[in-house]
């Protein structure tokens, strides 16, 4: 399967950028949805083209209904309805506990990581119409969808909500041929984990908690996304696939 139209949100950075390049290498047309950094988006597009795919860049704020609509409309005008959506746009937790968390912070994270997922999923589906046909939605969630951390209430709640959004969508869209799955990464070396890339002691301290002894690479998450969007995953829907080197199995450490 190649030559599909693939929309990747958050595609100018980290896991989204790796997904864009991986779908490009599979011979797909990739729409790079980016938030603010146009140069980074163009670099992602160049990587897609270098890998053998086609690329276009489109500005989109995932929490803004009109922006999401305009971005999908631009893709549909150029290439027709998308067959694959990878939603990687997201903000990270800040370490602020609930008693100190401002309502604005809570809203910003829920708007981006959860409402954004709803808006891009809905626009992807309506762009395809009601006829049946193979399609795939992949949301980049997190192990924090179920493994909570103090200081991450906004993020954990958003990713936890994303789980049930993915499951509901999977049930609603199965008969039309759209499979909907979540990828739940552990610690992946991206700009979201900037300190782990520059502070080697900090990184090693975190990596000691990972049974495989190392953080993951964005390309490893991208390989999973390409698989989940492929015909080899044709019977997988409503699933949450953990990719964390075993990290989330260590929750009872010290019990």
Ligand X SMILES: NC(=O)c1ccc[n+]([C@@H]2O[C@H](COP(=O)([O-])OP(=O)(O)OC[C@H]3O[C@@H](n4cnc5c(N)ncnc54)[C@H](O)[C@@H]3O)[C@@H](O)[C@H]2O)c1
Q: Which one of residues 8, 15, 137, 169 is an interface residue with ligand X (CB under 6 A)? A: 15
Q: How far is the CB of 28 from ligand X (least distance, A)?
A: 19
Q: Which one of residues 89, 120, 157, 170 is an interface residue with ligand X (CB under 6 A)? A: 89
- What's the Rg (C-alpha) of the chain? 17
Of the residues 34, 155, 202, 235, only one is catalytic, namely: 155
52 binds ligand X (CB under 6 A): no
C-beta separation of 102 from 124 below 8 A: no
CA 56 to each of CA 24, 31, 51, 79, 122: distance values in angstroms, whole numbers, following the listed order: 11, 5, 14, 10, 21
Q: Assess whether 146 carries a catalytic annotation.
A: no
Q: Give dist(CA 25, CA 50) in Å, integer.
A: 8
Site track 102-141 with ligand X (rule: CB under 6 A), x = hit: ----------x---------------------------x-
53 binds ligand X (CB under 6 A): no
Q: Which one of residues 7, 14, 55, 182 is an interface residue with ligand X (CB under 6 A)? A: 14
Site track 159-188 with ligand X (rule: CB under 6 A), x = hit: --------------------------x-xx
Number of residues that bind ligand X (CB under 6 A): 26
- Cβ-based nearer residue to ligand X, 14 or 161: 14
Q: Which one of residues 4, 5, 7, 10 is an interface residue with ligand X (CB under 6 A)? A: 10
Specify which residues 127 forms β-bridges with.
Answer: none
Indicate the burial class of 176 (C-beta count within 10 angstroms; 0-12, 13-18, 19 or more). Answer: middle
Q: Give dist(CA 176, CA 87) in Å, integer.
A: 20
- Cβ-based nearer residue to ligand X, 16 or 127: 16
Q: Give dist(CA 93, CA 149) in Å, integer.
A: 9
Site track 17-36 with ligand X (rule: CB under 6 A), x = hit: ------------------x-
For 33, phi and psi rounded to 5 degrees? Answer: -85, 125
- Cβ-based nearer residue to ligand X, 24 or 185: 185
Strands (DSSP E) contained in the chain are 5-9, 29-34, 54-59, 84-87, 135-140, 178-185, 240-243
The C-alpha angle with vertex 11 and arms to 127 and 152, in degrees rounded to 5, equals 100
Which residues here bind ligand X, judged by CB under 6 A? 9-10, 12-16, 35, 60-63, 88-91, 112, 140, 142, 185, 187-188, 190-193
Active site residue ranges: 155
């Amino acid at each position: 399967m190649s030559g599909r139209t693939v929309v990747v949100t958050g595609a100018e950075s980290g896991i989204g950028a790796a997904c864009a390049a991986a779908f490009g290498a599979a011979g797909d047309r990739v729409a790079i949805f980016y938030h603010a950094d146009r140069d980074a988006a163009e670099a992602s597009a160049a990587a897609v083209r270098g890998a053998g795919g086609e690329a276009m860049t489109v500005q989109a704020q995932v929490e803004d209904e009109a922006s999401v609509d305009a971005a999908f409309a631009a893709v549909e005008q150029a290439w027709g309805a998308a067959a694959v959506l990878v939603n990687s746009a997201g903000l990270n937790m800040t370490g602020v506990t609930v008693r100190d968390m401002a309502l604005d912070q809570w809203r910003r994270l829920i708007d981006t990581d959860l409402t954004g997922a709803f808006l891009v999923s809905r626009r992807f589906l309506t762009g395809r119409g009601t006829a049946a046909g193979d399609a795939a939605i992949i949301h980049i969630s997190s192990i924090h969808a179920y493994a909570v951390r103090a200081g991450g209430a906004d993020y954990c709640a958003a990713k936890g909500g994303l789980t049930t959004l993915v499951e509901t969508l999977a049930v609603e869209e199965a008969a039309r041929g759209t499979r909907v799955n979540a990828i739940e990464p552990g610690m992946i070396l991206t700009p979201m984990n900037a300190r782990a890339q520059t502070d080697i002691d900090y990184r090693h301290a975190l990596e000691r908690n990972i049974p495989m002894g190392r953080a993951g690479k964005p390309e490893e998450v991208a390989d999973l996304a390409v698989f989940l969007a492929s015909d080899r995953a044709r019977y997988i829907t409503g699933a949450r696939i953990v990719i964390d080197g075993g990290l989330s199995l260590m929750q009872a450490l010290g019990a």
